[in-house]
Amino acid sequence: MNEKLNFSFNNELISVTLGKEIIENHSIAIAEQIRNSRDANATNVTVDFTEFQSDKIVIADNGLGMSINDIKEKWFMLGSNHKREIKESLGGKGIGRFSIFKLGDCIEIETVKEGTKSIFVIEKSNINDISVKQELSNSNDGTRITITKIDPDISFYEIEKDLYNLILNKDDFEISLKFPSYYESISIINNEEIKKVIPYSATIKIMNNINDVNDIDYHFLCEINKEMIYENRIISEKFQKELNTILKKYENKKKIGEIYLSLNNFNFDKKLLKLFDNNLDVTYIKDHFLNVYQGINVYRNNFKIFGHGSEDWLKLAENRLKKPGENIDNKLTYGTIVLKENNDKLIEKSNREGFISDNHSKYFRELILIIVKQFGLDRKTSISKQKEIIENQRQKNNRIATTTDGVKEIEVPIKKEVENESLELFRTENNESSNKDIDNKDDKSINILKSKNLRKNNKEIINLISDEIINNITDKSKLKIIDGSGSLVENYIIQISKPGNYQYKYVLEDMEEHLEITIQSAKVKHKNPKSKFFQESTWFHGDIDLSEIHDIVYQLKDLDYEKKYLLYLISFRTILDDILKNYIANNDLKLDGDLKNNVDVVVEHILKNIKQNPNNNIVKIHRKFNGYNQLKDNLKSLQTKFSKEHYSSVLNKITHNPSPINSSFAAELSNEIILPLYVLIFEMRKEDIIR
């Protein structure tokens, strides 16, 4: 006997599998509904959280609405392909509607089309036998979704941050996010203002099915204060070779449509920042722009594709660790990639977080990465040009013009504060120029000393030539320094233990100048050190309390890293070990002799304790660290750095086989591993989340 069988499904299976489990991000769930609104020809959509505490979220649009046939054939037909037949459609698989269950367990849909209103309710536990109520209506066409039994782990901060740049061009479509009065909305610098302070930028157009470098229109600019410092339109031979290799490798997978790129990159090096008319407020830019626009985002049909941007899908951080000077930092980059043709070659994952991994997406990634590397090379060249300008300006400011009547003072311009009500990017620092009474002999002479007077601490080693002598003395061997007793100072190095005033005479051919050094008793400084080390992490916002590790940090900040890298690395390991071991001991966890295992133990325990929930103390932690999802991703990245795959190539040299490092790499290790971990644990203790 033959018996015919059919698959049957549990009611919750579809809502859970197609909703909560496949969609991991609340922002994506809302973005799916916004996509659906756009596909229904809506010009605006409102996402209303004002009744969140009363267990209600409302998403409403002014689209075409749905008739009873639309509801049957489109809404209740799983895997519907009607959107695939529409070129401009943002949907594809017809399952995005179930992402609503990521937000809550019960949804009510009220939709109006051509004077008829349809209303139906779907519970997560029962998606069958749905009753649709119909009635005549004078309301305008559109759809209203009311979500109840909502997920308490929803983060307003994450949703606002992720949806702020959901649409590239907002001229013909408006998204309105309404939050409860107790939530403080994000303040973001607008793009036009931020363009004024981005030093490195590039525009790129890549033709469909490119054959060689001529099919790429590349234009890089380094521009500061509207003055061009460096420009390039040519892709280097090195990257041309890499491009040809990729084109040959993916010969049959290249038709992914025209691609337009816009790349922008900041540089917050304090020396280079001096080139701007005013000092940039770096923290403000990070908190109110990069926090939202960080990374390289991808757009298709004007909508952002998740899984890019801050997620560092190009692995720029790894490249930068290998060659810091030649690769850009994803955290300091603002870029957009626009896919001009909506073909089916680059397929989005069902969870909407990136593209399905196949040869087309691999080709796309490798192609973009070559362009980004070229951008990094041009950035490196630009920095060299910037440093030349700084050095020339320094020498210019150090010269004192002379006349036959005597010394003519050079005025150092005082920086003026930029008044801009909408943008607080600048901080004014008044540079006061002091008069230097230096006795020059004639017009052709140059001053030897930068300063007439110095103040130093007792027992401090003083190099009389390295800091005080200008660089344009070509033959320093002719320079003689004589102390107050008439003795010649050998090696130009002194150390004075007794406080008081000391005079030194500088003689260079027919020139003679005098320096007075005041020696004072050294004072103990208790203020936290101000340095780019342990102070510029992009993980979190706000002040840093370094009291527990103050002493060693204060010493670390003054190290010459290129010469004393071993001392730094030992100190780095010591601090990290101390943080981990104290955490493990205080929380009764199992201590391991392996550093990377201890990292795993601590990270997993932290993740367990900061899981999203309405607890106000934990919400404070989430806000300080850019939201729960960002914090979770950052912690997971620490585990990746210490994993077997990455540990030996990236971090082994700082623990077992140290090798020379530069200051950029030292700062990155400090700010992306030690500092975030320390601050996070400190904040968790302060909020009584851990012991």
pLDDT 10s digits, 273-318: 878 766 667 888 888 899 899 999 999 988 999 888 888 899 888 8
- The model's pLDDT over 212-223, given as tens digits with 9 standing for 90+, comes to 999 999 999 999
Structure tokens at 210: 């490119």
Report pLDDT for 405. Answer: 43
Question: What's the CA dihedral at 248, 253, 258, 262 to 10 degrees?
Answer: -70
Report pLDDT for 337. Answer: 95
pTM of the model: 0.60
> Do the beta carbons of residue 260 and residue 341 sit within 8 Å?
no
Mean pLDDT (the chain) is: 78
Q: Using CA atoms, how far apart are residues 188 and 299, in angstroms rounded to an integer? A: 20
Q: What angle do CA 482, 483, 487 make, to 5 degrees?
A: 70
- The model's pLDDT over 529-584, given as tens digits with 9 standing for 90+, comes to 445 566 667 787 766 666 666 666 666 666 665 666 666 677 777 888 888 888 88
Q: Using CA atoms, how far apart are residues 370 and 382, in angstroms rounded to an integer? A: 18
Give the residue with greater pLDDT, 177 vs 633. Answer: 177
Q: Does 242 have pLDDT greater than 60?
A: yes
Q: What phi and psi values does residue 639 have, to the nearest 5 degrees?
A: -60, -40
- Integer-rounded Cα Rg, in Å, for the chain is 31
Domains in the chain (CATH in brackets) are: 11-178 (3.30.565.10), 191-392 (no CATH), 453-520 (2.60.40.1080), 547-686 (no CATH)
Report the Cα 582 to chain-centroid distance in Å.
30
Report pLDDT for 391. Answer: 83
Half-sphere exposure of 157 (CA within 13 A, CB side): 21
- The model's pLDDT over 473-512, given as tens digits with 9 standing for 90+, comes to 667 677 888 888 788 887 777 878 777 788 888 888 778 8
SS (H, E, C) 579-600: HHHHHHHHCCCCCCCCHHHHHH
Q: Does 402 have pLDDT greater than 60?
A: no
pLDDT band at residue 443 under the 50/70/90 scheme: very low
> Do the beta carbons of residue 16 and residue 36 sit within 8 Å?
no
pLDDT band at residue 415 under the 50/70/90 scheme: very low
Structure tokens at 453: 């007077």
Q: Does 320 have pLDDT greater than 90?
A: no
> Do the beta carbons of residue 118 and residue 111 sit within 8 Å?
yes
> Do the beta carbons of residue 557 and residue 494 sit within 8 Å?
no
Q: Using CA atoms, how far apart are residues 658 and 663, in angstroms rounded to an integer? A: 15
> Do the beta carbons of residue 159 and residue 255 sit within 8 Å?
no
What residue has token string 């006061």? 432
- The model's pLDDT over 272-285, given as tens digits with 9 standing for 90+, comes to 887 876 666 788 88
**What number of other Cβ atoms are within 10 A of residue 634's Cβ?**
20
Lowest mean pLDDT among 154-163, 234-243, 389-398: 389-398
Report pLDDT for 15. Answer: 52
